[in-house]
Structures are given as structure tokens and as C-alpha cells.
Amino acid sequence: MELKLVRQSAASVEADAVIVFEAEGGKSFATALPVQYESGEISGKFAEYTLVHNVAGFAARRVLVAGSGKPEGLDPAKLKKLISGALRTLKGKGIRHVAVAVGSGAQVAAAAEAGVVALWEPDQLKTTGKDPDKAIRTVSIAVDSSDAGIDAAFEKGRVIGTALNTTRDIAVEPPNILTPMALVARARAVAAASLLEIDVLDQDRMRQLGMGALLGVAQGSAEPPALIVIRYDPPTGATKDVLGLVGKAVTFDTGGISIKPSEGMEKMKYDMCGGAAAIGAMQAIASLKPGVSVMAIVPTVENMPGSKAQRPGDIVTSLSGKTIEILNTDAEGRLILADAITYAKQLGCTHLVDAATLTGAIVVALGHAASGVYTNNDAFLSTFMAASKDAGEQMWHMPLFDEYMEQLKCVYADIQNIGSRWGGACTAAMFLKEFVGDTPWIHIDCAGTAWLDDAKPHMAKGPTGIPLSTFVNLALSWK
Ligand code: BES
Ligand code: MN
Ligand code: ZN
């Protein structure tokens, strides 16, 4: 699919279809489409799509009127949903070239991003039922303005959209193909194409360093683990800060010896989505060149109950020196993140944001509507929340009360890897906090948001790429 920016009006752009917007109660196209307006078919209600052929005054063969709802409610996140939904209603109809007519710079960025991500499908491995002849081949973003900022806005949207698809392409791969070593290969490909430095720690180096928490998780699998580090430095060293993006990448989580029920276990191929988002974010960051150094630190393992697997009752020594009693081998994400966080600090990260499909409990708390975020630094949190809002990724601040730490106290080791039955997302976050220390840090539990279980009008089933856009916006907004 090709994405283009054209400086043309909605009426003059030549395409097989042009997408235009109508707000609730608006009359923008009433002269050209009197019947549709009078019948109430076009009401401007959000995500109402009306396709009309041969509209007088339009060069395009079809006009899709997209209801944009209340004018004050149309932020970039909603606009992306609206445009993605519009593109998806037009797919599979033999329409080759679609134009989207938008206004301001912010709308151009949202439209470009939507133009790239909307048509993504999780069907890479399907050999039948795909009809490439009917696919949309070109999406043009039509802007009737000569404003200079528009090129940059278009580029930002295009780059973030492309990176989201990179992340989704990686995340959608099944766990027999996307092993930790395969993830390393994907990360190397991203780094090479983006001219970024990459360093991959293998099992031997992790042993030398003493990453006992990460290695303990890996030992039940025949697939060797790795720790991926990708680094970006700004062209001019604007700040001394180094932002570390730590992403959980368990390529499959059986639970280990504390094995999960078989029903729904296939979903645990998604347990590398945090890592895939961190890798994809580096691709966008390399293009958009924020003024801060950024590192992705991605620990990758497969959590299996092999004969060498760790047991409940094992005590491991983490890279930090802290000992951890493993009470449940299914609480593995926090173990690999503990060593990755310690390593990120050793590498010089001054700020940390981790993303992990860490707990089922966060899905109980927030459903699929928002990721849960935890922090040890309220100032950093407010910068972060602004970046997430701008990205259109919903995040909800969750607490780290001292009571959660009480639950992790352990007699045999410094800390244990699970708390009690309740507040599981909070005790998981509290566990991570113990390894973060004073470094400003945010933890994103994206277990409910990284994967769409059922297709939506605006998005295919499968990986969403969350929280890649927040990562990128946070780096771009760095002061
Ligand atoms: N990857 C899972 C988190 C998860 C579980 C996401 C279920 C979505 C649905 C994580 O490694 C895990 O297994 N967490 C356990 C922790 C528990 C053993 C304390 C969980 O949430 O059940
Ligand atoms: Mn688990
Ligand atoms: Zn897991």
C-alpha cells in the first residue's frame, strides 16, 4: 500500500473514493446530497458511513461521508478511529485508490497514521482466501493548504503508522516461529534498516553478569534466551538524559511448572507485545530523531515446563544482588524485567518506562479500555500522561501503596515473586519498583490493551501495537 500527500481539495482530488467528514447536525454536503440529508441517512453521528456514487461537484467516483459526531469531541484518537473505520468499510470492494480529505496539521498526522495502520491484517500465514486484486493500493491524504508544517505532520503520522505495523507484524507471529532467537533476528533487521546500534546478550554473557532471575525463567525451555539492547542518540546532544524503554518479550508463556489451564493458552503468544512495541518504537525514533537518547532493552525468553524448569520454592539471585523466592513460575514477567531494569540502569538510563503484558489482574481492573500505569515519580508521570493522550492511547494511573510491599515480604529470600490473591497488578508493579530504586520510572501493564480479541470496525483482530505511540511521543516531547 502506498501513502501519498496531495495538496488538493476534497472536491478536486481524483480517486476511486474520497472520504469526507460531517459533524452531527451539519449540512456541509446538503446541496450535493439532498436526499441523503433529508432522509436522515446522513446525520453526522460518529462512525456513521454513507457511500454515494457519482456526486455532483466531486472528481472522485465515490464519496464516503463519515459522521464525525460532536465537533468538540473529535480529538486525534477519535479521528484515527474514524478514518480507519472508513478505510476498512471501503476495503474488498475493488476500490484501488482512496483519498482522505482533512484540514489542519494534527489531522494530517492522524490521517497518515490511520492510512498506514487501518488496512493491516493478521493473515500473513494464510495461503487462501486473500484477494490482492481487490485490495486498496493507494491512500492519498488530501489537504487544501500550503501550510509548511503539513509535510512534517504527514511524515510523523506515516512513520508512527509504519512502526506500529512493524510491531504488529512481529507480535502476530506464532510462538513456534517467533522464538527468542527469531525475535533477536527481527530486532537486528529493524536496527540495521534504521542504522541503530544493537547489542544482544546471549546466555553466556547473562551468566557472567549474574542475571539469575531472567535465566531461571529461561531454563525450562530448549530455546535459549536473549537480552536485546538497541540504542539511539540524537544528532546534537541536547540533554544528558537517557530514556530506557524496557519491554517484556516472553515469546510463549505456558506458566512453567505452575502451568496455565489449556483453555485459551494460545493467547499467551502475545506475551512479547511489550518488547515488540519497544523495538518498533526505536524504528520510529530513528526516523523522527527526538532530542534525547533512547534505548530499548528487551529481555526475551520462552516460559516452559521442561525438565530443567525452575520450581516453586527455588531461590534465584538477580542481577541486582537481591534474592527472589519463586512461589509461582507463572509470575515470570516480573523476573525477567527485574534483571532488564537493573541492566538498563547499569547502561546509564536516567529514566525508565517498561511495557509488559504483566497480569491478568489489570484486565480485571480496567478491561480492554486502558493500560494500567504505575510510577515512583509524579512529575515524570504527568509528562508521560500528556504524551499518551497525544498518542491517543488510554492509560490509567494505578496506586503503589506500601501495603502491596507487605505481601512480597519473604522469610527465605529478600523478596518473593507473588503476593496474595487480590490486587495482583499492584503487587506485580510493586515487585518491579523494588528493582528500579530512585530512577524516575513508569510501568505500563498492557495485558488488556496489547491485543484485540475480536475485530472492531476500525481495527483487525490481533496485536494493536500499544504502547508504541506513547513511547515515541514521550521521546519527541522530551525537554
Ligand atoms: N503473561 C501473564 C499475564 C496474563 C495472564 C495476561 C492472563 C492476560 C491473561 C503473566 O505472566 C502471568 O501469568 N501472570 C499471572 C501472575 C500470577 C501468577 C501472580 C496472572 O496474572 O495470572
Ligand atoms: Mn505468566
Ligand atoms: Zn507472562
Question: How far is ligand 3, taken at its centre, from the CA of residue 397, in Å?
Answer: 21
Of residues 272 and 133, the one with the higher pLDDT is 272
Ligand 3 ion: nearby residues, β-carbon < 5 Å: 250, 253, 271, 333
> DSSP string of 395-438?
EEE----HHHHHTT--SSSSEES---SS-HHHHHHHHHHHHHTT
Residue nearest to atom 8 of ligand 1 (CA): 360
Q: What is the mean pLDDT of residues 466-470?
A: 98
Cell of 405: 510491599
Catalytic residue among 334, 389, 421, 456: 334
With the C-alpha atoms ordered 160, 154, 242, 479, is the resulting torsion angle positive or negative? negative
Span 44-76, pLDDT tens digits: 999 999 999 999 999 999 999 999 999 888 888
Over residues 290-322, the pLDDT tens digits come to 999 999 999 999 999 999 999 999 999 999 999
Q: Three-state SS across 195-246?
A: CCEEEEECHHHHHHHCCHHHHHHHCCCCCCCEEEEEEECCCCCCCCCEEEEE
Q: Which atom of ligand 1 is nearest to the CA of 260?
A: 13
Confirm if 248 and 371 have CB atoms less than 8 A apart. Answer: no
Nearest to 449 by CA among 383, 388, 404, 377: 388
8 A C-beta contact, residue 101 and residue 142: yes
Q: Is the C-beta atom of 294 inside 6 A of ligand 1?
A: no
- CB burial readout 251-286, b (16+ within 10 A) else e: bbbbbbbbebeeeeeeebbbbbbbbbbbbbbbbbbb
Read off the pTM.
0.98
Q: Indicate whether 274 pLDDT > 70.
A: yes
Beta bridge partners of 66: 21, 49
What is the structure's pLDDT at 131? 85
Q: What digits encode the pLDDT tens for the residues 90-101?
A: 999 999 999 999
Q: Indicate which residue's Cα is closest to atom 13 of ligand 1.
A: 330
> Ligand 3 centre and the CA of 65: distance in Å?
43
Q: Is the CB of 423 under 6 A from ligand 1?
A: no
CB 136 within 8 A of CB 15: no
Tell me how far apart the alpha carbons of residues 215 and 227 are, in angstroms, rounded to a whole number: 11
The percent of residues in the chain predicted with pLDDT above 70, rounded, is: 100
Whether ligand 1 lies within 6 angstroms of the CB of 424 is answered as: yes
Decide whether any atom of ligand 1 lies within 6 Å of the 445 Cβ: no
Whether pLDDT at 459 is above 80: yes
CA 405 – CA 415 distance, rounded (Å): 9
What ranges do the domains of the chain cover? 2-144, 171-476
CA of 150 to the centre of ligand 2 (A): 44
What pLDDT was estimated at residue 239? 81
Pocket test for ligand 1, best of 329, 359, 366, 452 (most atoms within 8 A of CB): 359
Q: Is 137 a catalytic residue?
A: no
Q: Which CATH class is domain 171-476?
A: alpha beta
Q: Write out the E strands in 217-332.
A: 226-232, 242-247, 249-253, 293-303, 315-317, 323-325
Higher pLDDT, 134 or 203: 203
Active site residue 207: no
Residue 332 near ligand 1, beta carbon < 6 Å = yes
CB of 118 shorter than 6 A to ligand 1: no
Confirm or reject: Cβ of 359 under 6 Å from ligand 1: yes
Q: Is the peptide bond before 467 cis (omega within 30 degrees of 0)?
A: yes
| Ligand nearest to the CA of residue 301, numbered in listed order | 3
Q: How far is the CA of 329 from the centre of ligand 2 (A)?
A: 7
Give me the chain's average pLDDT, please.
Answer: 97
**pLDDT band of 105, cuts 50, 70, 90:** confident
User: Of these residues, 7, 61, 96, 260, which one is catalytic?
Assistant: 260
What is residue 369's DSSP assignment?
Answer: S
Is residue 354 lining ligand 1, measured as CB closer than 6 Å? Answer: no
Output the residue whose Cα is nearest ligand 1's atom 16: 331
CB-based burial label for 438 (10 Å; 0-12, 13-18, 19+): exposed
CB-ligand 1 contact for 447 (6 Å cutoff): yes
Cell numbers that stand for 329 in this block: 513460575
pLDDT digits (tens, 9 = 90+) for 395-425: 999 999 999 999 999 999 999 999 999 999 9
Task: State the pLDDT at residue 341.
Answer: 99
- Write down the pLDDT at residue 429: 98
- Give the nearest ligand 1 atom to 271 CA: 1
Task: Region of 392 please: left (phi>0), alpha (psi -120 to 50) or beta.
Answer: left
Q: How far is CA 17 from the centre of its chain?
A: 30
CATH class of 2-144: alpha beta
Ligand 1 atom, smallest distance to 250 CA: 1
Q: How confident is the model at residue 237, as a pLDDT?
A: 67
Residue 216 has pLDDT above 80, yes or no: yes
> Rounded distance, CA 432 to CA 333, Å?
10
Non-local (6+) Cβ contacts of 84 within 8 A are: 114, 117, 118, 458, 459
- Other C-beta atoms closer than 10 Å to the C-beta of 291 total 16
Q: Mean pLDDT over residues 207-230, rounded?
A: 99
Question: Is pLDDT at 238 greater than 80 in this prediction?
Answer: no
How many angstroms separate the CA atoms of 11 and 144, rounded?
Answer: 10
